Structure 1
Amino acid sequence: MEPKDADARRAVAPVICYPTDDLPAPDLALYRKAAEGARVVETVIVPPRDAAYVEIPAGSLLRITSVEGPQVGDLNLFNAHDLSERFYSGKTRALHGTHVTTGDRLWSSFPALRPMATVVEDTLHWYGIDAYGGSVHDVIGTRCDPYTGNLLSGSQYHHCCHSNLTRALAGARNLSLDEAERHVHDVLNVFMCTGFTRDTGQYFMKASPVRPGDYIELLAEIDLLAVLSACPGGDCGAEHSSDTAACHPLRMECRQPAEGALRGWAPPPVNGYDRSHGT
């Protein structure tokens, strides 16, 4: 039974959990200028329903591009020298919101908790938030995986993004599949259009607005290992674990700014919290 003051309780104004006024901001103008004159030093094509990896040195750029048709991708980021420092989607979401775009940063896991990368350019920035509450490049989805598929439908599907990322990471670092799987983590859903329903609060997806030529570009704040899966759901307009959805490759490029283009810039240090006093 609803209490008499139910409306009053619902009307309480929200408070932002993590005000970001004092959060160190990237020098986006510097980053964009560096990106203008950057040259491609490596290109990797991610096949449909598969994954691939590329190394991105600190101060270089990772550009992910739609090349043939609407396609979303699941991105894992690691410190190239220490797989235990990885992309922390939950903290990124808490700081920047459910979806990221130009100027937002991708943060790493504890105890480092520092920017791993900064979004320098996003050709889908125009999309904003649609009438359903959907937006692009989410940090709320976990990645399609075979365990949930088995739980919900008893399927044994081996080309989920989780499985693809596991195989690619194993190949990148000469790990067994069991070893690699422990490091695969919640993703940046590149180009994916998602949100939460207002009535039930359920995570939804809809056909991505991405088209060939659209891209998102990140500046690597530290040496990165980037692992990307081309989702088996294609544009995720109907399902995200499928051998029948139209799927397309994605392109990853490592782009190197001209010498001196980032003069004065340095990789961020690890978080300054003193753990000697206890967590």
Structure 2
Amino acid sequence: FGERYSSQDTLRAQGAAYITTGTQLMSSEGRVMMTVTADTSGRHDTSAGCCSCESNTVRFGHDTLYQHACRENFIIELSRHGMTKRDIVANINFFMNVPISPNGAMTVDDGISSPGDHVEMVAEMDVLCVISNCPQINNPCNGFDPTPIRVVIKG
């Protein structure tokens, strides 16, 4: 479990703040894990992190503390593979619009993707991808209505 996705190395290697077609997802060991081969949306975040019960409480009020969040989804899935919350690394927020202002401030904004948009990636090594379709019902960025996703894995 030592080699992991590295958002910092990915952004540095690409010389760009977002993930899109041609981006190579880099490991903590400097190896290419996956390559984005197609992307109809054009921009995906890997800096803003995932929501958690704690961050939702700060953003949306104490009454949201016990609502489910991406971090909890990751913990549940990782436990099925003998891992713990210490094994969570930076994530990729596919289809999440996180503009970065010239002063470095980031905000979560209305999405720029459309229904049917997709991302295709090729694995360059064996990888474990843990996915959370964000259950966040308090954020206006998804119209307060999380929608389904479809994942297709071709062998």
Q: TM-score, normalised by structure 1?
A: 0.49
Contact 2:45–2:94, Cα closer than 8 Å, also in 1: yes
Q: Which has the higher strand share?
A: 1
Size of the alignment, in residue pairs?
A: 152
Which of residues 33, 56, 62 is equivalent to 1:116?
Answer: 33
Q: Secondary structure at the match of 1:189?
A: coil
Q: Does 2:85 correspond to 1:167?
A: no
Which of residues 90, 94, 119 is equivalent to 1:186?
Answer: 90
Determine which structure has greater relative contact order: mean sequence separation of CA pairs < 8 Å that are 6+ residues apart, divided by chain length: 1
- Shift of the alpha carbon at 1:197? 3.0
C-alpha RMSD of the superposition: 2.3
- Residue type of the alignment partner of 2:140: A
- In structure 2, the residue matched to 1:197 is 101
- In structure 1, the residue matched to 2:146 is 247
Q: TM-score, normalised by structure 2?
A: 0.85
How far apart, CA to CA, are the structure 1 residues paired with 2:85 and 2:151?
22
- Shift of the alpha carbon at 1:151? 5.1
- Shift of the alpha carbon at 1:158? 4.3
- Shift of the alpha carbon at 1:191? 0.8
- Shift of the alpha carbon at 1:139? 1.6
- Shift of the alpha carbon at 1:157? 3.4
Alpha-carbon spacing, 1:202–1:157, altered in 2? closer, same or farther (3 Å): farther
Q: Secondary structure at the match of 1:118?
A: strand
How far apart, CA to CA, are the structure 1 residues paired with 2:115 and 2:56?
30
- Shift of the alpha carbon at 1:216? 0.3
Q: Secondary structure at the match of 1:168?
A: helix
- Whichever of the two has the greater Rg, that structure is 1
Q: Write the deviation string for residues 144-197 of structure 1: whole angstroms up to 9, x where unpaired.
A: 1223334564442342111111112212x1x3xxx4211111111111111223
Q: Write the deviation string for residues 183-238 of structure 1: whole angstroms up to 9, x where unpaired.
A: 1111111111112234x63211212122222110110000111111111237x962
Q: Does 2:7 correspond to 1:89?
A: yes
Gaps of 5+ in 2: none
Runs of 4+ aligned residues of structure 1 deviating over 3 Å after TM superposition are 149-155
Contact 1:145–1:162, Cα closer than 8 Å, also in 2: yes
Q: Secondary structure at the match of 2:12?
A: helix
Gaps of 5+ in 1: 1-82, 126-135, 257-279
How far apart, CA to CA, are the structure 1 residues paired with 2:127 and 2:97?
25
Q: Percent identity?
A: 28
